[in-house]
Structure 1
Amino acid sequence: MTAPAADPILGFWRYKSGVIGVSRAPDGFIGTVRREITLVQCPHKVGEVMWKITRSGGDYTGTHLGWTQWDDCDAERVPQTAQWSISGEAGDTLKVHVTSGDTVRDYDFQREPSQAVPVGPGDHVWYWFDNSTQTPHTSQAAGIPRLEWFPNADPNDSTDYQGHGKEIFEYTFLGNEIRRGQPHMKKFPGTYAWLDNNPGNLTGVQNGTDFGQYNNKFNWHNFLIFPSFDVGYAAIAAFLRQDRWKNLTILQAFRDYAPAEDGNDPDSYATSVAEEAGVTTDTLVGDLTDDQMAAVQAKITQIEDSRAGDTYRYDSADLPAAIKQLLPSSQ
């Protein structure tokens, strides 16, 4: 089965000094702010999903997240009807038509090479060097852009990299170092838990609870990214001390924390955690003492497998040129 070629709306688009990255989503595409954008008066912050886009034939329609009052940044934020069209000889202009009530606004975005969009702490980049063409590929999408890089891959097989899985790496950018791993490859160095300083593989949502993570920065599967291991480790207890868990038994909680549909065995997970804490799986999470919670944290860290990969300084000569081009000039 042949997958479609890369869609022309994919990539980075610049408006004034701001940049938005368009990537695939299960039901179409999303546009995520990569560098703060101000369209009228109010800023769209880095990490915000500003666009949700679907395609029918050659038409792109969907929603733009805006304000009910264009000039009032404290006004309610709502999805507004939007249309996108690509123009220019090289397909380098993205015209966005936004409607909110009786107000209509149009914006022209220019295509921006990914190398021009600097990364910052909490960001991640997928990297693949195509040896057959001697071409480097980078992507700041949440997951590996399989169908862009490997058009003949099976769209229904998330592990089909056309034989190139071992050549793909993920880089995460922390405050004082860059980490490299291959979290998509089973038992390979550099798991998500290690890359993200997230030993519990905690997940989050836009503008969610602050556990000390980089704000609105996520890895694949919405994994949170933390500035240090200690902060990420402490976050496990804070995460499980939330009201949503306290009246659940350990068994109930871990069926949510590590659901079977994600490839986990939540009942075995719960049993292991409970045994480590010296309690039963019928124990309420809210009844765990601090010492018992510390045991739970340690067991979760063991199960989630924070396996190290490679680390680099920002000025390392060993970084690929395509990654160096993404670094802020101040590094």
Structure 2
Amino acid sequence: MLHPDFVLQPGDVFSVQGKTHILYDNEVKTGGSLAWISNNPGNIRPAGHEAERYGAYVGKQHANFAIFPDAQTGFNAIKSFLSARSSKSITQIMEIYAPRGDGNNDPDAYASTIAKRLGVPVSTIVGSLSDDQLTTFASEIKRVEGWIPGTSYGLDALPDEVWQVLTDPTTPNQPANRPIIRRGDTGEAVRLVQSLLQAKGYDLEIDGIFGPATEAAVKAFQKAANLSVDGIVGPHTWSALSQ
């Protein structure tokens, strides 16, 4: 149960000492992969409110991905996503789930990996799969999307600096993790920029290192967005990336 003094709500994203945190009903999560911190093992996007129909927090997202109240709800959302497209083949599903041209997606390779795990052809219709096979399908998506645990704090054992942000309305907490970053920087903020750039179609590895490839992608994005092209991610670039 949330403390009555908390000024944030479950699903809210906030920053503490430059690190992204997400508040849940019984914990605060930080670090780890995007899938883990958002309880979204399928990295399902909130577009069209589909994720909300599967239990995601309404209007909440992190790095353009939906946030679910717990990992089980997020996992079940993958199965619901698949079941809603029961007439599609595995290949067709992955073309929808991980469309070609969105970052470094390769739906054919993705479909092949899943079909091999299921022991069926990529042409198999999703509606013909058993519930156990759908669970295996969802588990494989979770594995491929990346489920890397970070740090979780119970609400009765929060570090002082986290407690301060959650209880003091004057403590800056939004937007989350948006420091000015440039080439040579490392860490969670760089990972977030890389994720946002990847979601906009730039081919980047999400490694948390602001190297030449990330700088080049930032400059290309700034040019496309009619921003000052300096390769530095400041307030205007953060704002444009988040749209």
Q: TM-score surpassing 0.5?
A: yes
Q: Distance in 1 between matches of 2:168 and 2:44?
A: 28
Match for residue 11 of structure 2?
Answer: 122
Q: Does 1:291 align with 2:143?
A: no
Matches within 5 A, 1:160-175: 168-175=18-25
Kindly state the Cα deviation for residue 174 of structure 1 after the two structures are TM-superposed: 0.7
Q: Distance in 1 between matches of 2:111 and 2:160?
A: 41
CA distance in 2, matches of 1:305, 1:204: 18
Alignment partner of 1:256 out of 84, 93, 96:
96
Instruction: Map 1:45-60 onto structure 2 (within 5 A).
Output: none
Structure 2: which 5+ residue stretches go unaligned? Answer: 1-5, 170-243
Residue identity in the other structure for 1:300: I
User: What TM-score comes out, normalization by structure 1 length?
Assistant: 0.45
5+ residue gaps, structure 1? 1-116, 130-167, 182-189
Contact 1:246 1:286 in 2 (8 A): yes
* Partner-residue secondary structure (3-state), 1:276: helix
**Could you say if the C-alpha distance between residues 215 and 292 of structure 1 is closer, same or farther in structure 2, counting changes exceeding 3 Å?**
same
Provide the rounded CA distance (Å) in 2 between the counterparts of 1:215 and 1:315.
26
Residue type of the partner of 2:129?
L
Give yes or no for contact 1:197–1:225 (8 Å, CA) kept in 2: yes
RMSD over aligned Cα atoms: 2.5
Distance in 2 between the 1:275 and 1:259 partners?
20
CA distance in 1, matches of 2:144, 2:168: 35
Structure with bigger gyration radius: 1
Question: Which of 283, 298, 309 pairs up with 2:150?
Answer: 309
The Cα of 1:207 is off from its aligned counterpart by: 4.4
Q: TM-score, normalised by structure 2?
A: 0.60
1:217 aligns to what?
Answer: 60
Alignment deviations for residues 46-80 of structure 1 (CA, whole Å, 9 cap, x no partner): xxxxxxxxxxxxxxxxxxxxxxxxxxxxxxxxxxx
What amino acid is aligned across from residue 262 of structure 1 in structure 2? G
How far apart in 2 are the matches of 1:207 and 1:283? 28
CA distance in 2, matches of 1:317, 1:282: 49
Higher strand content, 1 or 2: 1
CA distance in 1, matches of 2:49, 2:108: 31
Q: Amino acid of the residue matched to residue 86 of structure 2?
A: K
Q: Distance in 1 between matches of 2:96 and 2:48?
A: 19
Q: Does 1:197 align with 2:86?
A: no
**Residue 275 (structure 1) shift:** 1.2
Measured after TM superposition, the shift of residue 299 of structure 1 is 0.7
Which of 120, 123, 130 aligns to 1:279? It is: 120
1:88-167 alignment runs, 5 A limit = 118-127=7-16, 129=17
Alignment: residue pair count: 163
Post-superposition CA distance 1:109-152 (Å, at most 9, x none): xxxxxxxx93210111244x4xxxxxxxxxxxxxxxxxxxxxxx
Q: 1:124 to 1:206 in 2, by over 3 A?
A: farther
Q: Match of 1:326, SS? A: helix
- Which residue number corresponds to residue 187 of structure 1? none
Secondary structure of 1:226's aligned partner? coil
- Runs of 4+ aligned residues of structure 1 deviating over 6 Å after TM superposition are none
How far residue 214 of structure 1 moved from its aligned partner, in angstroms, is 1.7
SS at match of 1:312: strand
Q: 1:279 to 1:311 in 2, by over 3 A?
A: same
* Other structure's SS at 2:147 match: coil
Instruction: Give the 3 Å change call, closer, same or farther, for CA 206–294 of structure 1 in structure 2.
Output: closer
